[in-house]
Each structure stands twice: as C-alpha cells, then as structure tokens.
Amino acid sequence: MQLAIKVTPIDADPYQIETNLFTIVALERKFKIKASELAQGIALEHLAFLAYEACKQHEIVVPVVFDDYLKNILKIEVVSSDANPTDEGVTTEP
C-alpha cells in the first residue's frame, strides 16, 4: 500500500509526500489497526500521521511532537493510492 498525500501547511507552500512500508507499519503499531482497514476509509488523524512519518523518512523537518505538526496543517488530502501493489506481481515457480 502506498499513498501520495498533499499537505497544505498554514504558513508554507503545499507539498506532496509518499508513504512507504515503514510508514504504514508505524501507523499499524501506533493505532493498533491493520492497513487493510484503511480500505473502508481513513481517519484524518491517520492520514496526518502517515504524512508526518513520511516527512521524517524523506528528511523533511517536522516538529518532534505529532500534535505540533497537526497544529500547522491547514488541509490534507490523498492525491493517489496504490492500495495493493502485490496483486499485479503474483507469479508461480515452474
């Protein structure tokens, strides 16, 4: 699962960030949910957390405390989603 997320901060230019396996697992650990549950809908807190963790992974400076990051976001939205990239790559050995 990979998401492209557009974040519009209150006092800066909008930016787009992509999640990766690490950010998805961090979400699962923090909120005790399965990534598959996101298919039914994603909470804004979860989306913001994914953006926060993805920023750290891509060396974008964010506050140490997640809530401080939230305070500076005006708008957040999913730009694109690759819900299950492994479906296309299924192969069998001869």
| Contact predicate 36/28, CB 8 Å | no
Residue 59 lies in a domain: yes
Low-confidence ranges of the chain (pLDDT < 50): 85-94
Residue 92 lies in a domain: no
Q: What is the pLDDT of residue 83?
A: 57
Residue 21 lies in a domain: yes
Task: Give the residue from 7, 3, 2 showing the smallest Cα distance to 62.
Answer: 7
Structural domain harbouring 18: 2-84
The Cα 94–Cα 79 span in angstroms is 39
Residue 77 lies in a domain: yes
Residue 90 lies in a domain: no
What amino acid is encoded at 3 in this protein?
L
Number of domains in the chain: 1
Residue 66 lies in a domain: yes
Q: What is the pLDDT of residue 86?
A: 41
Residue 10 lies in a domain: yes
| Contact predicate 42/24, CB 8 Å | no
